Amino acid sequence: MKILLLQDYLRSGGTERQSVLLAQAFAAAGHPATLLTFRPGGRLAPTVGPAVPHQALQPFDCGLDWFAPGLHRAVARAAPDVVLCMGRMANGRAGGLQRAFPRTAVVGTMRTGKPLPRAFRRSLAAVRHIVANSQEARAHLEARHAVPGDRISVIYNSLVFPPEPELARAEALRTAQGAGPATAVLLCVAMFRPEKNQRELVELAAALPATGDWQLWLAGDGPARAACERLVARRQLAARVKFLGFHRDPTPLYRAADVAVHASRSESLSNFLIEAQAHGLPAVVYHAQGIAECFVPGVTGWVVPPGDRAAWIARLAPLLADPARRQACAAPARQHARQQFDAPRQVRAYLDLFTRLVGPAPAP
């Protein structure tokens, strides 16, 4: 079974990490897989292994996420049995691909909490099937976009960075950031985009007790980082809030941190939170689509209404004050992540779905 994964650009986001993981897993399972992007390069391009050809449609990077010259010609040359569309831009092209290649199973995905562009919405009715990465995303498709339930499968994101036993790098990282043995490190790993809302985490940090021994680590890069850094300077939090930049493998950050925090306004399922759970970190987060499916609510993670800073701080306070309470969350968090987001399980679910879909297109 030949599989083509379509993505606009290999930036450093969670969808892009999933694209690379799935392409390599499909190839390892014996299914020729190609990763086709609109733009060349990107932060994650070097992580694509030799078993997966990575082709780009733009001859040089035009900086346009929507520009896909020669897309239909490239798909015709690849002659895939399945096209898996990842991200909003690729899903906007999915309906046209399904109409142009009716014998190919074009599979759309719902992995965002952002408003869907018109082309994306039109594709929902045209593609052979849709994969939602959370139950809430599926419910949204059914209620908001009238997609029949039998055309939707829920397949959760896969763990990209499973736990590792080595601790030396984590301890060195804490030392480098000035975190002592008793320092409670709050961690958020996400691209700096407005919807990821790291600014709110800074404001929340400003309301935490100044006498407490805590730090907030913000890992990632992107267009909203500079404004966030200016806010930290205005709030005089430079000694508390650390900008750690992009990490191709954030495993040492998870190992070094104590609590996962998130204030994103737009999610479908957070890769960061499921990875944090896999490493045993409890979570305190604002609600967004699919967020509560990343952990065991009230046991390994706590969800508060967006913007309710008092509730967020109240949920965080016991975890800041009591290392034993944090530690008590670790085993059930790891167990939940392994049960729900194990990569071989999710890859098998995709391949089983593709096997069912491949074949003559249903009669209109």
- Tell me: the pLDDT tens digits for 42-74? 999 999 999 999 999 999 999 999 999 999 999
Residue 349 belongs to a domain = yes
- The token pair at 24 is 């390599």
Domain range for 223 is 168-341
Do residues 141 and 57 share a domain? yes
**Mean pLDDT, the chain, integer:** 94
Residue 4: helix, strand or coil by DSSP? strand
Residue 363 has pLDDT above 70, yes or no: no
Measured distance CA(307)–CA(257) in Å, rounded? 24
Do residues 137 and 117 share a domain? yes
Do residues 73 and 7 share a domain? yes
Residue 352 belongs to a domain = yes
Residue 336 has pLDDT above 90, yes or no: yes
Measured distance CA(163)–CA(158) in Å, rounded? 13
Q: Are 78 and 4 in contact (CB under 8 A)?
A: yes
Measured distance CA(264)–CA(270) in Å, rounded? 9
Residue 114 has pLDDT above 90, yes or no: no
Do residues 174 and 272 share a domain? yes
Do residues 43 and 173 share a domain? no
Q: Are 146 and 168 in contact (CB under 8 A)?
A: no
% of the chain residues with pLDDT over 90 = 87
Express each pLDDT in 144-166 by its tens digit.
Answer: 999 999 999 999 999 888 776 56
Do residues 64 and 191 share a domain? no
Residue 135 belongs to a domain = yes
Residues 6 or more apart from 114 whose CB is under 8 A from it? 88, 195, 266
Do residues 53 and 138 share a domain? yes
Do residues 308 and 351 share a domain? no
pLDDT of residue 360: 53
Residue 34 belongs to a domain = yes
As a 3-state breakdown, the chain gives helix, strand, coil percent values, each rounded to 5, of 45, 15, 40
Do residues 213 and 254 share a domain? yes
Q: What is the biggest distance separating any 2 CA atoms in the chain, rounded to whole angstroms?
A: 68
The CATH number of the domain holding residue 69 is 3.40.50.2000
DSSP for residue 164 = -
Residue 364 belongs to a domain = no
Residue 209: helix, strand or coil by DSSP? coil
Residue 362 belongs to a domain = no
Residue 144 belongs to a domain = yes
From residue 64, alpha-carbon distances to 9, 13, 41, 55 in Å are 9, 17, 13, 16
pLDDT of residue 177: 94
Do residues 121 and 233 share a domain? no
Structural domains counted in the chain:
2
- The token pair at 329 is 């969350």
Phi, psi torsion values for 85, nearest 5 degrees:
-95, 125
Measured distance CA(122)–CA(298) in Å, rounded? 38
Measured CA angle at 298 (ends 292, 300), to 5 deg: 80
Q: How confident is the model at residue 141 (pLDDT cuts 50, 70, 90)?
A: very high
Residue 157: helix, strand or coil by DSSP? coil
- CA atoms within 13 A of residue 11's CA, in its CB half-sphere: 20
Express each pLDDT in 159-213 by its tens digit.
Answer: 888 776 566 678 889 999 999 999 999 999 999 999 999 999 999 999 998 889 9
Measured distance CA(14)–CA(4) in Å, rounded? 19
Residue 237: helix, strand or coil by DSSP? coil
Do residues 273 and 142 share a domain? no
Do residues 22 and 105 share a domain? yes
Q: Are 132 and 268 in contact (CB under 8 A)?
A: yes
Measured CA angle at 361 (ends 360, 364), to 5 deg: 140
User: What is the CB neighbour count within 10 angstroms for residue 337?
Assistant: 25
Phi, psi torsion values for 321, nearest 5 degrees:
-85, -20
Radius of gyration for the alpha carbons in the chain, expressed in angstroms and rounded: 21
Residue 199 belongs to a domain = yes
